[in-house]
Amino acid sequence: MITFQGVSKVFRSKEHITKAVDQVTLTVNKGDIYGVIGFSGAGKSTLLRLVNLLETPTEGKVIINSQEISSLSQKELRQLRRRIGMIFQNFNLFNSRTVYGNIAYPLKLAGASKQEVKARVTEMLQFVGLEDKADHYPEQLSGGQKQRVGIARALATSPDILICDEATSALDPETTGEILKLLKKVNEELNITIMLITHEMHVIRSICDRVAVMENGTVIEEGSVFELFAHPKTQTTKNFINVVQNDKLSPKLLALLRANYPGQLVRLIFKGGVTGEPVLSQFAKLFNIDFNIIYGSINELQGQLFGSLIVEIKGDEQEIQRALESLKKKVEVREVINHES
Ligand SMILES: Nc1ncnc2c1ncn2[C@@H]1O[C@H](COP(=O)(O)OP(=O)(O)O)[C@@H](O)[C@H]1O
Ligand SMILES: [Mg+2]
């Protein structure tokens, strides 16, 4: 478990004072994949670097498995770092060493014997699917393969925490998918707690259990991934979500919709079990109104279904209002106009 308690990090130079991390309090539960999302400069990398004391907090406490890490001795700190693996956007491999040499490096540093090194490197190569690349050099590998080496190296010393700084940001979408799958395997098969940072919501949606949204050094929203998607509170979060749901209507499309559908346009958000209910036909029977379905999409989130429908409702104004009030008890109702623009 990783806990941040009122943690701040201030960088001071002659000209500038930057509060990169500002009073952050959050908990990463053991066994979770915890995501931190935010735009560039939000303070994500600094927050992550506080976990393995690559940065020391200016204020507050970072507690890992009930140990406050800033009070550790040099020896304890070395031990702690061995239990925290880290991977990077640009892989940070040693170009002069082979794949084998890269993965062996932290093991040698930890004083493992030649035999132990060989056994562990072989095991890790198998785990990341690069058995045939042991003698290759990084420059002979694709981006995805390089990140696999990065992961194997980070896991060589059997850490219980893996921290990932934009680990898929330099990769194409397909390779990103493969690396995210591998991270999920790391989490599930090796029981490793993962804290990752990203500026891409699809990364959060694919593999994270919980998420924090960061802006200007502070956490502006935090919760389970499902809750965040279901009830986003801030505009920043809504913007991140819109990108992945591909649901935001362009002004042109919205204008065309209005011109073509004179009735009331609403977006209905269905979550979890409600997606299996014939809500619309029930309401058409209960109230004297008609639904005209214009657009629909469905997504999977944390094993739950999450649907979105844009419908035109036709009928008497008062009857529509009565129906909407009642609908709101079942699904989330958003006025298309206000929400989208
Ligand atoms: N070592 C440093 N010295 C001075 N300022 C820094 C340093 N590291 C980060 N910053 C500043 O802290 C802020 C947050 O940076 P960072 O944590 O890298 O954000 P992110 O990873 O979200 O892009 C930025 O304004 C950045 O310029
Ligand atoms: Mg960063």
Tell me the CATH number at 96.
Answer: 3.40.50.300
Mean pLDDT of the 244-265 span: 80
Greatest Cα pair distance in the chain: 81
Does the CB atom of residue 44 touch ligand 1 within 6 A? yes
Rounded to the nearest whole angstrom, what is the distance from the C-alpha of residue 24 to the centroid of ligand 1?
15
Query: Is residue 37 within 6 Å of ligand 1 at its C-beta?
Result: no
pLDDT at 338: 39
Q: pLDDT for 1-32, tens place per residue?
A: 999 999 999 999 999 999 999 999 999 999 99
Same domain, yes or no: 36 and 150: yes
Q: What is the pLDDT of residue 46?
A: 97
Mean pLDDT is highest, among 151-155, 171-175, 226-230, for 151-155
177-233 pLDDT, tens digit each: 999 999 999 999 999 999 999 999 989 999 999 999 999 999 999 999 999 988 899
Q: What is the pLDDT of residues 59-71, one digit of tens each?
A: 999 999 888 998 8
Residue 337 has pLDDT above 60, yes or no: no
pTM tops 0.85, yes or no: no
pLDDT above 90 as % of the chain: 66
Is there a single domain that holds both residue 213 and residue 318? no
Mutate to test the pocket of ligand 1, among 46, 49, 165 (most ligand atoms within 8 A of CB): 46
Q: Using CA positions, which residue lies closest to atom 27 of ligand 1?
A: 41
Report whether pLDDT(128) > 90: yes
Instruction: Extract the tokens encoding 271.
Output: 């979550």
**Domain interval for residue 304:** 246-338
Does residue 11 have its Cβ closer than 6 Å to ligand 1?
Answer: yes
200 shares its domain with 328: no
Kindly give the number of the ligand 1 atom that is closest to the alpha carbon of 40. 23
160 plus 110 within the same structural domain? yes
The pLDDT of residue 231 is 87
Q: Give the residue among 48, 61, 1 at the shortest CA–CA distance from 20.
A: 48
Statement: residue 101 has pLDDT above 50:
yes
Count how many domains the chain has. 2
The stretch 141-154 carries a mean pLDDT of: 98
Q: Are residues 173 and 281 in the same domain?
A: no
Q: Is the CB of 276 inside a 6 Å radius of any atom of ligand 1?
A: no
302 pLDDT tier (thresholds 50, 70, 90): low
pLDDT of residue 295: 87
Q: Assess whether 35 and 168 both reside in one domain.
A: yes
287 lies in the same domain as 215: no
Tokens 């699809």 belong to: 202
Same-domain check for residues 135 and 109: yes
Return d(Cα 35, Cα 38) in angstroms, integer: 10
CA distance 92 to 85: 13
Assess contact for 60 and 50: CB atoms under 8 A: no
Pocket test for ligand 1, best of 12, 18, 22, 213 (most atoms within 8 A of CB): 18
Closest ligand to C-alpha of residue 16 is 1
Supply the pLDDT for residue 127: 97
Nearest CA owner, ligand 1 atom 25: 41
**251 and 282 belong to one structural domain:** yes
Final residue of a structural domain among 185, 210, 243: 243
Point out the domain boundary residue: 200, 216, 243. 243
Instruction: Dump pLDDT digits (tens) for 77-93.
Output: 888 888 999 999 999 99
Q: Are 134 and 106 in contact (CB under 8 A)?
A: no
Which of 227, 243, 259 is the endpoint of a domain? 243
What is residue 301's predicted lDDT score, i.e. its pLDDT?
Answer: 67
Question: Is the torsion defined by CA of 246, 250, 255, 259 positive or negative?
Answer: negative
Question: Which position has the higher pLDDT, 121 or 326?
Answer: 121
Ligand 1 atom at minimum distance from 42 CA: 22
42 pocket-lining for ligand 1 (C-beta < 6 Å): yes
Report the run of H or E that residue 124 belongs to, with start and end. Answer: helix 114-128
Amino acid at 39: F
Percent of the chain having pLDDT more than 70? 96
Give the confidence band of 341 by pLDDT, cuts at 50, 70, 90: very low
Q: Ligand 2 center to residue 39 CA distance, Å? A: 9
Distance 47 CA to ligand 2 centre (A): 9
166 CA closest ligand 1 atom index: 21
The domain spanning residue 265 has which CATH number? 3.30.70.260
pLDDT, greater one: 339 or 23: 23
Q: Is the CB of 159 under 6 A from ligand 1?
A: no
∠128-35-273 over CA atoms, to 5°?
100
Give the model's pLDDT for residue 245: 64
31 and 49 share a domain? Answer: yes
- Give the Cα separation of 258 and 246 in Å (integer): 20
| Ligand 1 geometric centre to CA of 57 (Å) | 13
Statement: residue 339 has pLDDT above 60 = no
Do 70 and 61 form a contact (C-beta atoms < 8 A)? yes
Summarised one tens digit per residue, pLDDT across range 230-251 is 889 998 898 888 766 656 677 7
DSSP 144-209: HHHHHHHHHHHHTT--SEEEEESTTTTS-HHHHHHHHHHHHHHHHHS--EEEEEES-HHHHHHH-S
Q: Examine the domain organization and report whether 56 and 172 are in the same domain.
A: yes
196 and 307 assigned to the same domain? no
Could you give the CA distance from residue 280 to residue 223 in angstroms, rounded to a whole number? 30
